[in-house]
Each structure stands twice: as C-alpha cells, then as structure tokens.
Amino acid sequence: MRVAIVHDWLTGMRGGERCLEVFCELFPDADLFTLLHNRGSVSARIEDMRIHTSFVPSLPGAAQFYRYYLPLFPLAVEQFDLRRYDLVLSSSHCAAKGVRTAPHQLHLCYCYTPMRYVWDMAHTYFSKEVLGFFSRKLIPPVLNYLRVWDVFSSQRVDSFIAISQHIAARIAKHYRRTADVIYPPVEVGRFRHNSAGDYYLLVSAFAPYKRIDLVLDAFRELALPLRVIGEGQERRRLLRHAGPTVKFLGRLSDDEVAEQMAHCKAFVFAAEEDFGIAPLEAQAAGKPVIAYGRGGVTETIKGLTLTGDDERDADELKRGKHHGLFFARQDAASLAHAVRFYEKHADAFSAERIQANVAGFDRERFKQEIARAIERQVAAFGHGECR
Amino acid sequence: MRVALVHDWLTGMRGGEKVLEVMCELWPAADLYTLLYVPGQLSPAIERMNIRTSFIQHMPRAARWYRNYLPLMPTAIEQFDLREYDLVISSSHCVAKGVITQPRTCHISYIHTPMRYVWELFEEYFGPQRAGRVKRAIIGVFANYLRLWDVASAQRVDSFVANSRHVARRIAKHYHREAQVIYPPVDTARFSPGEAGDYYLVVSALAPYKRIDLAIAACAKMGRRLVVAGSGQDAERLKKAAGPQVEFLGWQSDEQLAGLYRHCRAFLFPGEEDFGITPVEAQASGRPVIAFGKGGALETVCGLDQESPTGVFFGEQTVDSLTAAIREFEERESSFSPDRIREHALRFDREVFRRELQEYVARVYAEYQIDRGARG
C-alpha cells in the first residue's frame, strides 16, 4: 500500500506535529506533503521523511511570514499530485484536508479543527482591536472565500477522525459530516508530581484565542504568584496586562516545563480549546486544573463546574471525584473567583487520583487507536463501505 | 436562553416581514440582526426590537441601492458575531441563513425561498430582455460566486423550515437538505366574503416573474374587465401594453385591498410563486382563484379535481392556457361556494402559523440540546 501523509506546514513542534510524528512511525515509507517546511524545525522522526513542499516556500518571506499567504493555501494544496498513492492521510488544521484524490484512493483526515480562523475563532483572531483600517476592510472577503472553499473541500474527505467531541461537533456544524473521535497523544510519562510551590502555572502559545490576557488580569487583581511559559505574536500586548506577581519564563525546554509543572500549585487555563494538551500534562504531574468550562477540557478532565454557591460547591468537591475546577464565564472575575475558591479547598484534590485519570491518554494508546482505525477504514474501503 | 433573530433587510412590510413579525412576538427579548434597516417602514412589533445592522447600512445610498450590494451581502452576514446566543432563528430569502453560529448554538432557518435570482428565476431577472450584454456578463460572474456561497452556507443551518412543499423541494434540489414545511401566516381576520362584482383582480408587485402581462392579454382577448393593484419596476411597460378595460390602481391600503378582494369575480394569479400569500387572501374573502398550476398555488388552492374546489388551474404560462381557464371558470362559476372557500383559507391563518412555529422551534431546540449532551 502506497501512503501519502499531508500536513499543513512544518515550522515547529506543537500538538499537531506530535500526532504527525506517530503517523510517520506508522508509515515510515510514506511520502510527506506539506505547504512549507522550515528545515530543522521539527523532530528528527519527521525530518527523516521524504518531504514534498508546495510553491509556498518560493514566495517572498515565506519562511517567516507564511501565515500571510493563507488565501493561497487552498490553491497550493490542490496542486499536490497524489495519483500514485492508495491511502492519503491528511493531518489537518487548515487546508491539508483539501487535497485531490481519485475515487479508488482512500482519503482519511485526522482533523485538529476546521480552519479555526474562519469559523468559531474569526471574531477572536480578527477583532476590531487587533486590526488596522485596511486589514479590517480586506480580511472579511478573504474569510468569506476561505469558508466556501473549506466547506466544499470537506466533501472530498472519505472519512473524518476528530481530535475531540468538541471538534466532531464543529465538523458536524460547518461541514455536516460525521466524525469518529480519537484523542491525540499526551506524553504523560514525561511528567512527575512534586510538592506544591507557591505559584500557579500557565503554559501556552501566546495566541489571541488562548485568552492569556484574562488570566493576567485575574492574577493582577488576586496579587497571587503566576508563572507563564510560552512565546508568541501577542507578547507585547500581554505585557500590558501583567501585574507585579507575574513572571514570564519565555519558551522552555520539555524538561524545564516538566519541572515547573511538578512544583506548581495548580494549572490555570482560560481558553476554549479544541482538545487542550497542556492541562492534561499538568494532570500527569498530579496537579489540579482551573479552566474555562468549555471545549475539549470538559471531555478529558473531570472538573467541578462552579455554580457561584460556594457552600454547595465545597460539598460537591468533598466527594473527592474532581480533578479540577471549571469557571463558567470567560472573564477575569469568573477565573479569580475560581482561584479564590481553590485557595480554600486545595486539599480536596488528590495527586494520585488525578494522575490515574490521565494515564490512558498516553502516546501508545494513540498509536494503537489510530492504527486500528486506519486498518478498519482501509478494509471497509476495499469493500466499498467507507463513509 | 439567549435568542437572536436574523432577517435579510428591513425596508418594507412584505410576506417575509409578516413571518418575522410573528417571530418578534414569540421572542420579544431577542436581538434582531439585519443587513440594512430603514426606520418607519415596518410594523411596531418589529421596530421596537433591538435591531443591529451590518456595514451595508453605511454604504452610499444604501436605502435605495441596497440590491446592488448583493455581492457583498454574504460577507456582511458572516460578520455578525452571534457567539453569545443559544438559539438563532433566521428568516431568509437571500443570505440570512448564512450567519455563522457556534456548535453549541442551535440555528433554525425559515426559508422563504432559496436566493431565487440566482437559481430558477435567473433568466427572468437577468435574461437578454432584462439586461444588456455587458451587464449580463458581470452579473453572471457574481451569480456564479453567489451560487457557490449559497450551497456552502446552507450546510451551516441545523434545521430548515420551508414556507411550502415547493420551497422544501428546492431546498432538497440545491442544498441537499431536508426541510419541515410550515406555511406562512395570512391575516385572514382582515378579509370577509361579500357580493361578487364584474371584474377580475390582480394584486401583485409589478415584477417580471409575476407575469401580469398574461392576465392583461387574456382579459383583453376576452373583453373582460381587469383591476391591477400594486406597483413596481414593470409598471410603465405593462401600462403601455394594456387596453382600455384594464385599470391600474397602484399601491392600495389594506382596507382598500380587502374591498377589492371581496367584490372581485375571481382572482388571477399567473406567476409561479414559492408560496403566494395573495391567493390565500382572495380565498379568505371567499373568492375563487385562477392560478398557474405550479409552485405554491398548488398547495393553497384546490383545483377542479378536488371535492370542494376553490379555484381553477391553467397548465401552461401562455395567454391561451389562461384564457381557457377563465372560460372554464365562467362555465362553473355558480358552483363555487364563498363560505367553503373562506373555510379552506383559515388553514393558513396567522394563529396556526404561530402555534406551529413555536412548537417546532421548541422541539428542535430540545433535541439539539439532547444531541449535544450525547456528544459530551
């Protein structure tokens, strides 16, 4: 069986690339197609593949400013010639799912999200506050085009696998397609538990939808120590929100992150995430998670949704079944209230139970589930039953 | 539960706005999103809503030229930020159904018609008789884009409601989606049967696809009196073609219309409509309808093959076919019972619509929550 893997772009190791790595292990002889590859930016396992790129790298400044070429990505991805392959596995959070295949080829899509900039997150990415006059006029028509393309190209996929129920719901909403769910891998083995220090921790890329501003606002008001690990486009804006109790640690190595996780009091998280790997890593370190109660975390973490009635919430928490707290509104006050509540009831959480909850998210499990799902789809496709 | 209503544009009270009006009564606390709002043209129930508009509102001379901004409307409607709502109900004859909602938000769309200017009625709106070669070339490009967008955006709707089986079939044809049929509201209380007069009646916007020219030609041929109520872009063209037995009344008030309906001999309906409210209004006045046998009229009018007929259909959109139908009607004129005709029309009453819509929305919303719960 000749296999092609399609991944949007290779410019760094994030959640999607961890999944891609597993795909590469499953199909080491596959050809890897990608819009753009910055050499050395991804792990050796991926770099060792036969990598084919599109015309995007030849565009001026593409290595750094590739995101500005988003409107050309549909065009670029449709130019990949995949005629030689029997199985095409796209690993897609943007345009990769839009490749062309023939009826005798099986196209499976592992979907991290339908293009998030054009759907749920459009108002977060392109709010009036972040855009200048011209981009405010120019971006909406481009988004309009991308949405049309996104919907039509979704019909080219033979079968979708979503990273969470949250994403399956988005696929159903925007594409009217069904999707199986396989949660992505979490490297639980990298993390260990240690006694709590005096700080809360946030590990996140600095992207608008992560709502780090809201965490910073809450901790400025709380005047409690917060450490922030991460980098990104939003750094300058975020500094304005930070109070004196916040420490920015920048980008850290995997070991350093694990070390910070091991000693934090709790992990805070204000984003509505598609899946949310970082909170699960914190759980692997036995740490409770204080998160906004929407999106992927509600599927993976048994959190107590705070009602605002502290007595009732405390009673509920005493039953010892919860591994975190969910706050109901995506604002600083709601988060601050959750942190105050946590300060009072931190001893209600058990590190062992928290760790036990996430043991099943490890990489081996992902590899097996994906391998089995692909096998099943390939067999069904042979019999003409693929959906 | 936070509710948003979406309607294409608010520039006058027509059939679609009657539907919207009932929605505003059912969900008075909802926010109402629309591309463009010209105050003072709509009923108080609509005007007292919290109305939010798009950038179309600020385009040059938008109140008059808004139709020319059609190619921008998809982009405008997609910019509404509806993240905070639990339920979104769109009332759509153009682009309103294309709003973007969150997966947790239930989006129900009441479809008056799938954008008719780019589908079935494209030739009638933009055919060679209507537009020059250059204009048609430009419009063709935009129409191509609008068709793509129309189909893509139809996938965003969670549940479709069609205003007739005719529209449900068009939704199935163009969008490959199923739709529940709920007939639009007709204010039957405004009408009552009376003594039949000697004139045939047309009540219609004078737009090309309404085919008023057929009614005029048929009446001229037969030497029958015809009264035409309504205004529109075709008024001059039609007046030129009309003989002395045709009377153009222009725009008429509700009271004047009720009087015209009550005393007409029969109502003529030569166009193909998605639903067609006017034939129902004529029937609420106890008058028979002579209609082209296609589209919504087939659902609102009972033909001669039915047990108690309320009208006569003609099979081809030609003067001869309509003339034959008028003759057939005149032969059997005495067999039509005004009371039975009115009773038939009551099935389309406003209260029936209100109840059906309310029940349907409640059921779909509840099911949506359960589905979401099952998904986690």
> Could you read off the pLDDT of A54-92 as tens digits, one per residue?
999 999 999 999 989 999 999 999 999 999 999 999 999
Give pLDDT tens digits for A210-260: 999 999 999 999 999 999 999 988 889 999 999 999 999 999 999 999 999
User: With the CA atoms of A88, A91, A93 and A98 taken in that order, what torsion angle do they form, in degrees rounded to the nearest 10?
Assistant: -10
Q: Within this chain, do residues B43 and B62 fall inside the same structural domain, yes or no?
A: yes
Helix (H) / strand (E) containing A249: strand A246-250
| Confidence check: pLDDT of A125 > 80 | no
A240: which residues sit within 8 A by CB, 6+ positions away? none
Contacts of B152 in chain A (CB under 8 A): 147-148, 151-152
A99: which residues sit within 8 A by CB, 6+ positions away? A6, A33, A77, A78, A80, A82, A88, A90, A107, A156
Kindly indicate the confidence band of residue B128, based on its pLDDT and cuts at 50, 70 and 90: confident
A107: which residues sit within 8 A by CB, 6+ positions away? A88, A90, A99, A101, A156, A157, A158, A159
Between A112 and A320, the more confident residue is A112
- Give the per-residue SS3 of A100-148: CCCCCCEEEEEECCCCCCCCCCHHHHCCCCCCCHHHHHHHHHHHHHHHH
Contacts of B73 in chain A (CB under 8 A): none
Please name the amino acid found at residue A382. G
User: Given this model, what pLDDT does residue A385 score?
Assistant: 59
CB pairs A-B closer than 8 Å: 54
B161: which residues sit within 8 A by CB, 6+ positions away? B108, B109, B110, B111, B179, B180, B181, B182, B357, B360
Alpha-carbon distance of B27 to B3, in angstroms, equals: 7
Kindly indicate the confidence band of residue A386, based on its pLDDT and cuts at 50, 70 and 90: low
Residue with tokens 């163009």: B174
Name every residue in B having a CB less than 8 A away from some CB of A: 74-75, 78-79, 81, 83, 100-104, 148-149, 152-153, 155-156, 158, 177, 372, 375-376
User: Given this model, what pLDDT does residue B135 score?
Assistant: 86
What count of residues does chain A have?
Answer: 387
Which structural domains are found in chain A, ordered by start? 3-185+363-382 (3.40.50.2000), 188-361 (3.40.50.2000)
Is residue A87 within 8 A of residue A144, CB to CB? The reply is no
Q: Within this chain, do residues B305 and B195 fall inside the same structural domain, yes or no?
A: yes
Mutating which of B78, B84, B88 best tests the A interface, going by the most A Cβ atoms within 10 A? B78
| Confidence check: pLDDT of B372 > 80 | no
Is residue A77 within 8 A of residue A96, CB to CB? The reply is yes
Between B375 and B358, the more confident residue is B358
Is residue A112 within 8 A of residue A16, CB to CB? The reply is yes
Which of A143, A148, A168 is facing B149, going by the closest CB pair? A148
Count Cα neighbours of A319 within 13 Å in the Cβ-side half-sphere. 9
Contacts of B158 in chain A (CB under 8 A): 173
Count: domains in chain B: 2
Q: Within this chain, do residues B214 and B152 fall inside the same structural domain, yes or no?
A: no
Q: Within this chain, do residues B356 and B371 fall inside the same structural domain, yes or no?
A: yes
What count of residues does chain B have?
Answer: 376
Contacts of A122 in chain B (CB under 8 A): 100
Domain holding B257, by residue range, is 188-347
Alpha-carbon distance of B324 to B297, in angstroms, equals: 18
Average pLDDT value for residue range B266-294: 96
Residue with tokens 């359960």: B370
- Picking from B195, B194, B197, B202, the residue whose alpha carbon sits closest to that of residue B247 is B202
| Interface check A299 vs B, CB under 8 A | yes
| Confidence check: pLDDT of B151 > 90 | yes
Kindly indicate the confidence band of residue A321, based on its pLDDT and cuts at 50, 70 and 90: confident
State phi, psi for B140 to the nearest 5 degrees: -55, -40
Could you tell me the CATH number of the domain that includes residue B173? 3.40.50
User: Given this model, what pLDDT does residue B376 score?
Assistant: 44
Residue with tokens 């029958």: B224
| Confidence check: pLDDT of A137 > 90 | no
Mutating which of A118, A148, A154, A297 best tests the B interface, going by the most B Cβ atoms within 10 A? A148
Please name the amino acid found at residue B207. A
User: Given this model, what pLDDT does residue A207 score?
Assistant: 84
User: Given this model, what pLDDT does residue B207 score?
Assistant: 84
| Confidence check: pLDDT of B202 > 60 | yes
Alpha-carbon distance of B183 to B27, in angstroms, equals: 19
ipTM of the shown complex: 0.85
| Interface check A122 vs B, CB under 8 A | yes
Estimate to the nearest angstrom the gap between the alpha carbon of A36 and the chain centroid. 20
Could you tell me whether strands B31-34 and B266-269 are parallel, antiparallel, or unpaired per DSSP bridges?
unpaired
Alpha-carbon distance of B42 to B13, in angstroms, equals: 6
Contacts of B102 in chain A (CB under 8 A): 120, 173
Q: Within this chain, do residues B263 and B322 fall inside the same structural domain, yes or no?
A: yes
A190: exposed, middle or buried (C-beta count within 10 Å: 0-12, 13-18, 19+)?
middle
Is residue B170 within 8 A of residue B119, CB to CB? The reply is yes
Q: How far is CA B289 from CA A136, A298, B265, B358, in A?
A: 53, 59, 9, 30
| Confidence check: pLDDT of B184 > 80 | yes
| Interface check A298 vs B, CB under 8 A | yes
Nearest residue on chain A to B83, judged by CA atoms?
A120
pTM score over 0.90: no
The chain-wide mean pLDDT, for chain A, equals: 93
Q: Within this chain, do residues B242 and B292 fall inside the same structural domain, yes or no?
A: yes
| Interface check A137 vs B, CB under 8 A | no
State phi, psi for A295 to the nearest 5 degrees: 90, -160
- Picking from B340, B335, B342, B289, the residue whose alpha carbon sits closest to that of residue B313 is B289
The whole-angstrom distance between A152's CA and the closest CA on chain B is 7
The whole-angstrom distance between A27's CA and the closest CA on chain B is 31
Here the tokens at position A364 are 């081996």
Q: Within this chain, do residues B234 and B169 fall inside the same structural domain, yes or no?
A: no
Which of B74, B102, B103 is facing A144, going by the closest CB pair? B74
> CB distance B152–A148 less than 8 Å?
yes
User: Given this model, what pLDDT does residue A384 score?
Assistant: 65
- Picking from B170, B202, B124, the residue whose alpha carbon sits closest to that of residue B296 is B170
Estimate to the nearest angstrom the gap between the alpha carbon of B192 and the chain centroid. 22
User: Given this model, what pLDDT does residue A46 score?
Assistant: 97
Q: Which of residues 154-193 of A touch B (CB under 8 A)?
A: 165-166, 168-170, 172-176
Could you tell me the CATH number of the domain that includes residue B214? 3.40.50.2000
Mutating which of A144, A153, A154 best tests the B interface, going by the most B Cβ atoms within 10 A? A144
DSSP single-letter state for residue B349: B
A116-125, B157-166, B231-240: segment of lowest average pLDDT: A116-125
The chain-wide mean pLDDT, for chain B, equals: 94
Which of B78, B104, B149 is facing A143, going by the closest CB pair? B78
Kindly indicate the confidence band of residue A158, based on its pLDDT and cuts at 50, 70 and 90: very high
Mutating which of B59, B70, B88, B102 best tests the A interface, going by the most A Cβ atoms within 10 A? B102
Q: Within this chain, do residues B335 and B354 fall inside the same structural domain, yes or no?
A: no
Q: Within this chain, do residues B192 and B173 fall inside the same structural domain, yes or no?
A: no
Contacts of A120 in chain B (CB under 8 A): 83, 102-103
Q: Within this chain, do residues B329 and B196 fall inside the same structural domain, yes or no?
A: yes
Q: Within this chain, do residues B278 and B341 fall inside the same structural domain, yes or no?
A: yes
Kindly indicate the confidence band of residue B132, based on its pLDDT and cuts at 50, 70 and 90: confident
User: Given this model, what pLDDT does residue A15 score?
Assistant: 87
Contacts of A123 in chain B (CB under 8 A): 81, 83
Average pLDDT value for residue range A346-372: 94
User: Given this model, what pLDDT does residue B14 score?
Assistant: 86
Q: Within this chain, do residues B129 and B223 fall inside the same structural domain, yes or no?
A: no
